[in-house]
């Protein structure tokens, strides 16, 4: 083997060894007398809707301990609080996080909620490096104080010395650690008497729904509202596995929206919403019945369904027939624009990418992640935390990491995780708990129709069904990178919070 190849092989092995070493529990165990970490506190101001808001930013670690005082984890957070507020009952507080699992809170923090945001084009594409961070006139700070939480191993958050990361990386483990952080934060910063909201995105909506139950049942901490952005509560709706036909039905309207956006459907469909209404009706009717029939489907029925799928998705009838009428998401992202030598994104199917070749059936990468948002958001948080918030930490800020894997789902062995029931139960116990669900039409990670299905199968008491409000945006998973959707989402959230606090 040439020396150059040997060198790079050894270098890669060394890097892997170092990453694994970071994740392994150290031999030393943190002492009960470990001091509390120091926090950086800075003052700032921003103008929102003509009003100047003075606020304080508190940045750093919350040291989480066992009841005997032994350190368990350092959880990194950034807390924005409006200055001049004397009565906490008049000022809501929102705890925010993203998903993954393995994602830091940077996306919601510097894309929509926080006082600064990364500047994108109005359509949501990245600008030329090194990018620009600007005041976010659509911040939620005029409505609520904000706490951005990075779960363990994301952002700067890490286990304490001698503590295994496995204690945090699973559905139950994650709910416990984040829920206990919220309880301790609420106590230390004297916010028990404040109205409280959670805002989560993607798996963060899974976490938020789970926390709505955990915080009530474990800590007696009742919430006023949840904001679920690009929601996934029932994982059966998004698992493309043999024997589970549900995702093929529920992803279809988003396939259609994507084909419509890229002009792969008939020009007779001029209005997106009218087009999607037709596709939804087909998906819940003829298409569902066809998939339920399986091999009992007649040749005439199969031809009819194939032709309608081709009409709605922009894929060829021959290709659709080869899939047994079941179009898997990665195949769709590769196939839709194959003849154009382009792919479409999973997080945002409006965004196109280029692969090494176009003979395969899966994307080389997701152009709506690596090709649109990863670089700008990584720059933004690393520069902003140290330069503006005056917080110094030499650890890598883990934007979106696989180091949380494997994620433990032992609480639902041999079944799909479904936290919708937890949320239903929380609303039943706390009828003042309101939920806003934000959906992107071009989101192929957590499709809007799958969320509709989940919410329509909660079976809440009729008197509580208006506690849940659905909103839709002509953008993708991070709908706020699309400026018109960012503006609309801010208006929707403002109205929702005012209504929840009446």
DSSP states of 457-485 as a string? TS---GGGGGGEEEEEESS-TTGGGSHHH
Task: Tell me the angle at which helices 272-282 and 252-261 cross, rounded to the nearest 10 degrees.
Answer: 150
What would the two tokens of residue 200 be?
């989560």
Residue 311 lies inside a defined structural domain of this protein: yes
* pTM (2 d.p.): 0.92
CA distances in angstroms from 280 to 213, 255, 335, 337, 399, listed in the order given:
32, 11, 22, 23, 35
The whole-number pLDDT of residue 14 equals: 52
Q: What is the 8-class DSSP label of residue 410?
A: G
In a 3-state reduction of DSSP, which class is residue 448? helix
CA dist 337 and 352 (Å) reads 9
What would the two tokens of residue 93 be?
């507080």
CA dist 78 and 75 (Å) reads 10
CA dist 485 and 124 (Å) reads 10
CA dist 77 and 118 (Å) reads 19
CA distances in angstroms from 434 to 36, 185, 303, 423, 451, listed in the order given:
36, 22, 45, 10, 16
Residue 406: give its domain's CATH number.
3.40.50.1820
Residue 198 lies inside a defined structural domain of this protein: yes
Instruction: Using the structure block, give the residue that is written with the tokens 């909201």.
Output: 197
Specify whether the CB–CB gap between 120 and 27 falls below 8 A. no
What would the two tokens of residue 492 be?
């929707």
Residue 332 lies inside a defined structural domain of this protein: no
Are residues 50 and 170 located together in one domain of the fold?
Answer: yes
Which residues constitute the domain of residue 473? 40-236+374-500
CA dist 402 and 411 (Å) reads 21
Looking from the CA of 203 toward its CB, the CA atoms found within 13 Å total 16
Specify whether the CB–CB gap between 312 and 265 falls below 8 A. yes
The whole-number pLDDT of residue 371 equals: 78
Number of separate domains in the chain: 2
Are residues 228 and 253 located together in one domain of the fold?
Answer: no
Residue 306 lies inside a defined structural domain of this protein: yes
Residue 361 lies inside a defined structural domain of this protein: no
Residue 1 lies inside a defined structural domain of this protein: no
Residue 31 CB: number of other CB atoms within 10 A? 12
CA dist 49 and 97 (Å) reads 25
Are residues 198 and 322 located together in one domain of the fold?
Answer: no
Question: How remote is the C-alpha of 243 from its chain's centroid?
Answer: 27
Are residues 54 and 180 located together in one domain of the fold?
Answer: yes
The whole-number pLDDT of residue 23 equals: 53
CA dist 233 and 203 (Å) reads 8
| Bridge partner residues of 96 (DSSP) | 148, 199
Are residues 207 and 278 located together in one domain of the fold?
Answer: no
Are residues 386 and 247 located together in one domain of the fold?
Answer: no
Alpha helices in 242-340 (DSSP H): 246-250, 252-261, 272-282, 288-293, 299-313, 317-322, 329-335
The whole-number pLDDT of residue 105 equals: 98
381: closest CA among 129, 37, 78?
A: 78
The whole-number pLDDT of residue 496 equals: 98
Are residues 208 and 177 located together in one domain of the fold?
Answer: yes
Evaluated on CA atoms 150, 155, 156, 157, the torsion sign reads positive
Domain boundary, last residue among 293, 327, 361: 327
CA distances in angstroms from 157 to 39, 93, 167, 341, listed in the order given:
14, 22, 14, 41
CA dist 130 and 396 (Å) reads 19
Are residues 176 and 299 located together in one domain of the fold?
Answer: no
Residue 383 lies inside a defined structural domain of this protein: yes
Domain boundary, last residue among 298, 327, 356: 327
Average confidence (pLDDT) per 10 residues, the chain, 502 residues: 51 52 50 87 96 97 95 98 94 97 97 97 93 97 98 98 96 98 98 98 98 98 98 97 96 98 97 98 98 96 98 98 97 96 96 92 90 92 97 97 95 92 97 98 98 97 97 98 98 98 94
Instruction: Using the structure block, give the residue that is written with the tokens 């919410």.
Output: 455
Query: Beta strands of 142-262 (E only): which ranges?
Result: 145-150, 158-159, 196-202, 225-231
Are residues 311 and 446 located together in one domain of the fold?
Answer: no
The whole-number pLDDT of residue 27 equals: 41
163: closest CA among 38, 60, 58, 34?
A: 34
Are residues 279 and 192 located together in one domain of the fold?
Answer: no
Are residues 487 and 392 located together in one domain of the fold?
Answer: yes
Are residues 183 and 298 located together in one domain of the fold?
Answer: no
Residue 50 lies inside a defined structural domain of this protein: yes
CA dist 338 and 344 (Å) reads 10
């Amino acid at each position: 083997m040439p020396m150059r190849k040997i060198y790079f092989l050894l270098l890669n092995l060394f890097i892997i060894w170092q990453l694994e070493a970071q994740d392994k529990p150290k031999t030393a165990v943190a002492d009960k007398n470990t001091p509390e970490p120091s926090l950086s506190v800075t003052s700032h101001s921003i103008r929102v809707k003509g009003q100047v808001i003075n606020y304080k930013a508190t940045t750093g670690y919350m040291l989480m301990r066992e009841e005997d005082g032994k350190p368990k984890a350092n959880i990194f957070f950034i807390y924005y609080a409006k200055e001049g507020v004397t009565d906490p009952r008049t000022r809501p507080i929102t705890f925010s996080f993203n998903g993954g699992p393995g994602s830091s809170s940077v996306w919601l923090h510097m894309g929509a909620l926080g006082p600064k945001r990364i500047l994108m084009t109005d359509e949501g594409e990245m600008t030329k490096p090194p990018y620009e961070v600007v005041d976010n006139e659509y911040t939620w700070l005029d409505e609520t104080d904000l706490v951005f939480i990075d779960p363990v191993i994301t952002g700067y958050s890490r286990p304490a010395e001698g503590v295994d990361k496995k204690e945090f990386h699973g559905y139950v483990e994650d709910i416990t650690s984040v829920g206990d952080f919220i309880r301790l934060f609420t106590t230390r910063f004297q916010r028990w008497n404040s109205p409280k909201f959670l805002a989560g995105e993607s798996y963060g909506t899974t976490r938020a729904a789970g926390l709505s139950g955990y915080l009530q049942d474990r800590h007696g901490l009742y919430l006023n509202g949840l904001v679920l952005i690009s929601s996934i509560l029932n994982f059966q709706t998004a698992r493309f596995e043999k024997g589970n036909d549900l995702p093929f039905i529920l992803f279809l309207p988003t396939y259609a929206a994507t084909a419509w956006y890229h002009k792969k459907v008939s020009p007779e469909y001029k209005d997106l919403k009218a087009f999607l209404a037709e596709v939804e009706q087909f998906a819940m009717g003829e298409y569902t019945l066809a998939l339920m029939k399986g091999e009992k489907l007649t040749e005439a029925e199969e031809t009819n369904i194939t032709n309608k799928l081709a009409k709605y998705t922009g894929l060829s009838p021959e290709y659709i027939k080869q899939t047994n009428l079941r179009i898997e998401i990665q195949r769709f992202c590769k196939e839709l624009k194959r003849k154009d030598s382009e792919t479409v994104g999973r997080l945002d199917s409006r965004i196109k990418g280029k692969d090494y070749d176009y003979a395969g059936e899966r994307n080389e990468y997701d152009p709506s992640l690596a090709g649109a948002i990863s670089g700008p958001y990584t720059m933004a948080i690393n520069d902003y935390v140290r330069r503006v918030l005056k917080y110094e930490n030499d650890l890598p800020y883990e934007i979106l990491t696989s180091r949380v894997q494997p994620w433990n789902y032992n609480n639902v062995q041999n079944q799909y995780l479904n936290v919708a029931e937890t949320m239903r139960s929380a609303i039943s116990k706390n009828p003042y708990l309101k939920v806003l669900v934000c959906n992107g039409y071009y989101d192929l990670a957590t499709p809007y129709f799958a969320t509709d299905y989940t919410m329509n199968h909660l079976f809440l008491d009729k008197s509580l069904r208006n506690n849940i409000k659905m909103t839709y945006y002509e953008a993708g998973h991070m709908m706020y990178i699309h400026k018109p959707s960012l503006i609309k989402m801010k208006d929707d959230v403002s109205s929702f919070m005012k209504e929840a606090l009446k």
